Every structure is written in C-alpha cells, then in structure tokens.
Structure 1
Amino acid sequence: MSSLQLSLAVIGALTLGAVVIYNYWTSRKNAPRQAEAPMESVGTADTAPEDFEPREPVLTDDFSSLPQPERKPLLDALIDVIATIEMDHPVSGDAALAAVPVTRRVGTKPFHVEGCSDLSGEWEALVAGRRYSAFQAGVQLANRVGALNNIEFSEFVVKAQAFADAVGGTPSFSDMLEEVARARELDQFASAHDAQLSFALCASASAWSPGYIQQHAARLGFVAGVIPGRMVLPSAVAGLPPILSLVFDTQAALADDPALSAIREFSLSLDVPQIAREDQAFERLREVARLLAEHMDGVVTDGNGQILGEEVLNQIANDLQQLYDALDARELSAGSPQARRLFS
C-alpha cells in the first residue's frame, strides 16, 4: 500500500470515527432527560416515579390524620330548587333510600333527597336505620353545563313526586318560571366569575421523559392521579379537590418503554372556584411553575406560547383577588361546598 493510500485510509477512519462520536453525542444530547436513581441513603421511602401507583388522593391510612371537611346538608336554596315533602308520620331511612330514584340526575343537573331527622330536627343525607319526619328534594339551578331549563324542571317535579308517593308524603313545588329565571341569572353570574387557569411548561433544550417530570413534580408534593399522565397536588383536607393539577401526554405515559418518550411540554392548572382563597392556590401555582422551570430547564408560557413574565403574573393575581371578592359577596366563596357544586 502506497503512502497516499495509507494516508487516505487513516483520514477515512478518523472521519468515520468522528461521525460516530458526533452521532452518539447528538443522540445523547437530544435524548429525553431521565429520572435520577433513588438515593438509598435517604431516610424516607423514595420510590422511582415509574413505580408510582396511579391514584388520586383518597382517605387511606396515610391520610387518616388529615383534617376532614365539615359535613353539612347538601341542599342550599342559594343554588338549588327545593321541594319540601310533608309527612303524616316518620319514615325509616331504609324505606326512604329504597324510594330514591336510581338516577340521581335531572338532565345535566344533580338531584338529591334529604331527610329531617326525627331525633335532632336537622336536615341530613339519608341514612339507613334512622327515622325522618319530613323530606326535601332538590335539583341544582346551574352548573358549568348551563342553567336549569323548563324540561329539566318538569323532570325534577316528576322525580320528586314519585319519591313523595313512595314514602306517603305531600310535596310542595315552587313556580317553574320563577325558578328557571333564577337559574339563568345564577348561570350568568357563574359564567362571568369562572376561572380555570393553565400554564404550560416548555422544554428549553432537551426533552423530558415521563419519569423525569414525575420525579421533579413529586419533590414539590405532587402525587400520581388515576389517569396516566396526570399528577395532583392534594389538599391538606382529605376529600377536597386537589389544589393543582399537572398533565402531560397520556400516550407517553402508556408507552411500552416510557423512558424513550420525549415530552417537550406539560401543563399546570388551577380550578379557581374549587379551591379556598386562604389556600393561596395561585401563589402556589406560580411558585411551582417557577421551580419546575428552573430545575428542569424550561420556560413558563400561556396557551399561545407566550412567556409569562412577572408583570403579567402580578396582573392575574390582582384580577383573582377581585374575583374572590365577587364570589364572597354572592355567598359563593371559592372552595365552599356551594361554589364547588356550582362550578362543576
């Protein structure tokens, strides 16, 4: 082999090696970032995100020490049409439960029946083994689907009458036109004072694997939800809605090998009327987004891809205070049982 051929062979080998190294470097650079292996030295259990059991926060042994929501009668004249049902004699809770319609909805609105306890005289959800001296049936005036209409009111009357007949009671119904008008007014108020905020967190450079997202979110208190690709920041009170939600591509979470899934964006959301004002949900959303963006090399944007600066975030915070004030004035404070039902 001549010196020229030898030189060309060496140059070719070096070029091929350089290409292989470059391709390897590029693939490593563009590969989705992976979750770190759990540290054995950590005192508490640190389960790898891929091993998380999907679940929404529920009352288990882990949550038994959490405060419980105050239990109150469900029906409220503020957001419900209520028909009272008078009785000639007390009726057992077992008989009342057997008479309740199987379908607990009237059109798109929830339908409920409560009893007046023969012992305490207080309204309560029906319980077997107790006795009730009167009943009230109710249907919600409005929810996020819309206002109660004439057809739904008529269906409510039919269901409430059927229950009253089954327990031997006499119902009293309010005027349909007045209730439907009240439903429309409440729906207009709710539509003007609803707020569901969502931030997008976008990768600045390398994409993320599902495990990488889960690990960083878990460090900030998020737990896996029922739906793959969803995590939630649970309330401090067991049984209440989660304060924040984090959602990424469901298909990526369900992939045969999630570690190979490349995710460049996920969302953080807050359902404002569902969370009490004192929980400072927006402040927590803002801080969580900042920390995740900082630790994961990402940027926080709105739904149109525009980066959310401090000025915009401050304006949102001010607007939310006005929203909270309006809900308080209407006796539908954010996070209250009535608000959670109305804005659902």
Structure 2
Amino acid sequence: MTEFHYISLGIGVGLVAAVWLFNVWQEHRYKKKAAAAFARNHPDVLLETPKNHVRPAQSANRMEPSIVDTAAPTAQDAPPVAPELVEDFDSAATLDLDAVQALAAVMLDPQLDYIAEVGADQPIAGGLIPAFNVGKRIKVVGLNENDVWEIAAVGNRYLELRIGLQLCDRQGAVSEGQLILFTEQVSEFAASCKAVATFPNRQDKLDVARGLDQFCAQVDAIIGLNVGAGRGRIPVSQVATLCESAGMQLLDDGNFHALSESGKTLFSVASIDEVPFSRASFGQDQCSGLTLLLDVPRVADGLAAFDRMADLAQQLALTLGGDVVDDNGRSLKPADLAAIRKQLGVVYTQMDDRGIAAGSVAALRLFA
C-alpha cells in the first residue's frame, strides 16, 4: 500500500471512531435526561388518579351526548410506581396451589407487559427486590424453591424472577426513556444478586405499546347521565333512600355504587356538585342534581349495566320531579338512550374482537 492509502485508511478509521464516540455521548446524555424526568418521588398515579381521568379528548371516542372525558398527565409527568409485592403473604398462602399459580399466571402478559427475566444460581430473597422508578406499573412474579410460580412476596426466596413493566394504561403508552430506565434498574438489581437479566427487543415492544394505546383510545369512555332537580335542590336523604332501595351502597369515595356479585362497581351515583355524600349529614345536605357514571371498558356485561343505570336515572328523575339530561342540559329521550346503548354495543364488540373483554383482568389493567 502507498502512503496515500495509509493516510486514507487512517482518516476513515478516525471518522468511524468519532461517530461512535458521538453516539455514545448522545446516548449517555439522553439517559441522564430520562432519569431526571422519571426518577421522582411521587405517589402511585395508578392508585390515586380518578377513574374519569382518561386520554385527551382528541384521541378518545366520545359517545354523545354523555361521555365524561378529561385530559390526563403526560408520560413525562407520571410518577414512579414501585413493583407490586405481597408484603403479607399469609392471605395468599391460604390459597390452594392451583389458585396461587393461576394468580401468578394472569399477573403478567407478554401482550401487555415488557417482561424481564432474572435468573440466579442462588435463590433471591423477595425482600431484596427494589422499587423500580419508571412511572408505570410494575409487577413481579417468582419461581419459589418449591418450583411454583407465585406473586413475589417479602420473606420468600426465588430461583427465577419475571419483572413486568406495563406497556400501556390511561396515561398512555410506555416511552423509550421508561424502557431504558427499566432495563438499567433491573440490570443493576440482577448484578447486585449475581444474577443475569434478559429482556425482549425494545423496539418491538414499543411498537406493541403504541398500537395497544391507539386501540385503547378508541374504546375508552365513561358514560354519564345527569338528573337535574325539577323542584329546586334535592335532599340528600331522599337520594340515599332511592339509591339504597335500588340496591346501591355508599362507599368511601362518597358516591353510591351498584356492585356486581363479585363486588365490582357497575355504575355509580354522585352529586353533580362534586361534593361527596356523607351519611353523617344526610339529614342536612342538599344537592342541585345527580350524575350517574358507567366506566365502559371496566364493566363486564356493560349493556345490562347501562340498562339498569338508565332505568334508575329515569326513576330518579320521575321521583324527584326532574329530568334526565346530558352535560349541556339537553333532555335525553328514550330514543337518545337507545342510541347511546347502540354505540356502547359497538365498543364492546371492538373489545371482544381485540381479545380484551370489558371487565377482564386485561381491561382492568389497561384502563386503570
């Protein structure tokens, strides 16, 4: 080779090295920004965000005339969520072996979660599993020393762990920054236990998360029927009598709830003034109207629940001398209620076709 060839080769090698170093620097800077964005000490948004905090209006499927739809915080604003462990395993231990394994099996789903697998030569204590602060719900299941998969519990030891980061919820799809932070934190945890962590392909899971979020935005809705007061303000004691006679219960959130046989909320009745009902002040309190709410994707057999809610709304309106109206005060006639029910049926068909039935474990997780 001539001197010119050596010079050209040197320049080429130098350029490649410069590009590689630039990319490393950029990735390091991005990770630092992502860590600053997500590693904040906040409460669990998935436990404390009201259920009507759904996606922005431009992406949600609004069923006129009565869907409640409010903007949610962005993924960058979402606080960290610690992994869900069973702090007191005594209650779970009362389940039989099949029930324990079945419960662990539904906790993680490759279609809903980015699942890291952590394997070690020596058992890993459940109490060593740290909080992974990435702003999305995390669940951990472990293979115990009896070769049984269970929800990871403090006080137990595991030969293998599966740590799942949920890909999507009502705050939107997981971001690349969150996945990077998750893999870093799990890798650090695995290294501290002298274990090995493996992960799915990040880009593939990001594509799954975005597609899942688009689908969820299409079917995410809360149906609301309002009952206006026809004779001034409504005594809360009368509301309580009517709701309780319809089999509803006043729960800790200050609203009356119609519950399924398994204790899940079918729909609720709240004060239109957004003031919680209190049994201690039933005799003195009044409200200007009522709002009946059905969280569409979280309710199994939602058509039956809607029929029951619509019947109760009309009964309340008749008894209180008011009217069933939409959010703009427009009276809802039987034909309007029938149109809402028809649209509701379309949503449930879409969910069934996707394999995410309303009220199922998957739906409850996605629409939390």
Structure 2-normalised TM-score?
A: 0.66
Structure 1 window deviating more from structure 2 (245-254 vs 201-210): it is: 245-254
**Paired residue for 1:23?**
none
Aligned partners of 1:252 and 1:262 also within 8 Å: no
Aligned pairs for 1:278-317 within 5 A = 280-317=304-341
2:218 corresponds to: 192
- Report if aligned partners of 2:104, 2:141 keep a CA contact under 8 Å in 1: no
| Percentage of identical aligned residues | 27
What residue in structure 1 maps to residue 203 of structure 2?
177
Higher relative contact order, chain-length normalized (CA < 8 Å, sep 6+): 1
Residue 71 (str. 1) matches residue 71 (str. 2): no
Show the counterpart of 2:246. Answer: 220
Residue 235 of structure 1: aligned partner:
260
Of 113, 118, 138, 1:111 maps to 138
1:278 deviates by 6.8
8 Å contact 1:72–1:124 — kept in the other structure? yes
Q: Where does the alignment leave 5 or more consecutive residues of structure 2 unmatched? A: 1-98
Aligned letter for 1:146?
G
> Between Structure 1 and Structure 2, how many residues are aligned?
267
CA distance in 1, matches of 2:168, 2:156: 31
2-structure distance, mates of 1:237, 1:252: 24
Structure 1 166/246 Cα, relative in aligned 2: closer, same or farther at 3 Å? Answer: farther
Change (3 A) 1:282 1:254: closer
Measured at CA, do residues 330 and 72 of structure 1 come closer, stay the same or move farther in structure 2, by a change above 3 Å? Answer: farther
Q: Is the 8 A contact 2:303 2:341 kept in 1?
A: no
User: Which runs of 5 or more structure 1 residues have no equivalent in the other structure?
Assistant: 1-67
User: Separation in 2 of the partners of 1:304 and 1:221?
Assistant: 29
Q: Hey, what's the Cα distance between the residues in 1 that align with 2:169 and 2:176?
A: 15
Is residue 198 of structure 2 the alignment partner of residue 165 of structure 1? no
SS in 2 for 1:286: helix
* RMSD between aligned residues: 2.6
Q: How is 1:145-160 mapped onto 2 (pairs within 5 angstroms)?
A: 145-160=171-186
Query: Where do residues 79-90 of structure 1 align in structure 2 (5 Å cutoff)?
Result: 79-90=112-123
Per-residue CA deviations over 1:106-156 (Å, capped at 9, x if unaligned) read: 21x1011111244354x3211355443311111111111111001111121
State TM-score, norm by structure 1: 0.70
Larger radius of gyration: 1
SS in structure 2 of the partner of residue 294 of structure 1: helix
